[in-house]
Structure 1
Amino acid sequence: MFRELRRNKQYLTNDESIDILNKATSGVLAVLGDEDYPYAVPLSFVYADNKIYFHCAKAGHKLDAIEKHDKVSFCIIEKDEIIPEEYTTYFRSVIVFGKAHVIKDINNKRKAIELLVKKYSPNEVEFEKEIEGSFEFMHMIQIDIDHMTGKEAKELAMKK
């Protein structure tokens, strides 16, 4: 169902891909938008237990697209180093394919928010007040990962 990489020597292991997801602070979500045009939007996220979580407003293009068509992709670029003398780029990236939905269960929504807050504000002691203040005004979206591929430049792969 999902394509294999043509250059399979450049594959990252599943653990390497998860490591990138855990370290990255942003990614680009791609959905099927208005009039079936692709819509890609950068966002902050958190990865946990083969799922990706992010927040969004209770109305907007991203939410409308997810509610219309739940299949999405999510891309993280961990490394993008231009090497001019070699006419190439040393890159490392991960692409995730999955199905997205709004978390309806209040307890699961709270857990997802806490994961997100802890990732971006790990030293914040009083984030509970912030969560309470925004809880009713936002959705938490969960992407259930169906397929994940990590890839790196051949030059980086050869160094391993």
Structure 2
Amino acid sequence: MFRNMRRKKQMLSIEECISVFESGTSGVLAVLGDENYPYAVPLSYAYVDSKIFFHCAKSGHKLDAITNSNKCSFCVIDKDEIIQHKYTTYYRSVIAFGKISIIQDVFKKKEALKEIAKRYSPRHEKGRLEEIDKLFEKVFVLELKIEHMTGKQAIELVNKNTLK
């Protein structure tokens, strides 16, 4: 169902892919938008146990697209260093593929919001919980259940890591 990577030597392990998701601060969600045009939107997120959580408004292009097709991908770029004199880029990124849905269960929604808030404001628990309570009814929480993920890095990074 999912394609195999051509340049297997540059492929990240599952553990490395998870590490990128855990350390990244934003990514780009891609869905099938209006008139079958791709729609890609940058989002904050939390990765937890092979799932990615997002919060969003209760209406808009993203939700319309998800209603029409729950298949999506989510990309996080971990490294993007331009090496001018070599005419190349040292990169590392991960893409997750899966199905996305709105969390309906109130308890699960609250727990997902706590994970997202903790990720971006780890030392402010009281403020996080107050913000969640204040906005709880105004937002949806989306859950991407990962079916496949793949990561890749520049060959120069592979070679650098093998020399260590």
TM-score band w.r.t. shorter chain: over 0.9
Identify the residue that residue 129 of structure 2 maps to in structure 1. 128
Aligned match of 1:26: 26
The unaligned stretches of length 5 or more in structure 1 are: none
- Answering whether residue 132 of structure 2 is matched by residue 146 of structure 1, we say no
Report the RMSD for the aligned CA atoms in angstroms.
0.6
1:77 corresponds to 2:62? no
Distance of 2:55 and 2:125 partners within structure 1? 21
Q: Which runs of 4+ in 1 moved over 4 A?
A: none
TM-score (ref. length: structure 1):
0.99
Aligned mates of 1:129, 1:156 — CA distance in 2: 43
- Deviation, 1:149, is 0.2
**1:150, 1:124 → 2: CA distance?**
32
The corresponding residue for 2:158 is 157
SS state at 1:122 partner: coil
Superposed CA deviations along residues 126-158 of structure 1, whole A, max 9, x for unmatched, are 122111110000000000000000100000011
Q: What is the total number of aligned residue pairs between the two structures? A: 160
- Cα deviation, 1:74-111, whole Å, max 9, x if unaligned, reads 00111000011111100000011000000000000000
Q: In the TM superposition, what are the counterparts of 1:8-157 in structure 2 within 5 Å?
A: 8-126=8-126, 127-157=128-158
Cα shift at 1:63:
0.8
Q: Describe the superposition over 1:59-80 as per-residue Cα deviations: whole angstroms up to 9, x where unpaired.
A: 0000111111000000011100
Measure the CA separation in 2 of the matches of 1:42 and 1:140.
15
Alpha-carbon distance in 2 for matches of 1:95, 1:125: 30
Share of identical aligned residues, percent?
A: 55
Q: Secondary structure at the match of 1:118?
A: helix
Q: Secondary structure, in 3 states, of the residue corresponding to 1:159?
A: helix
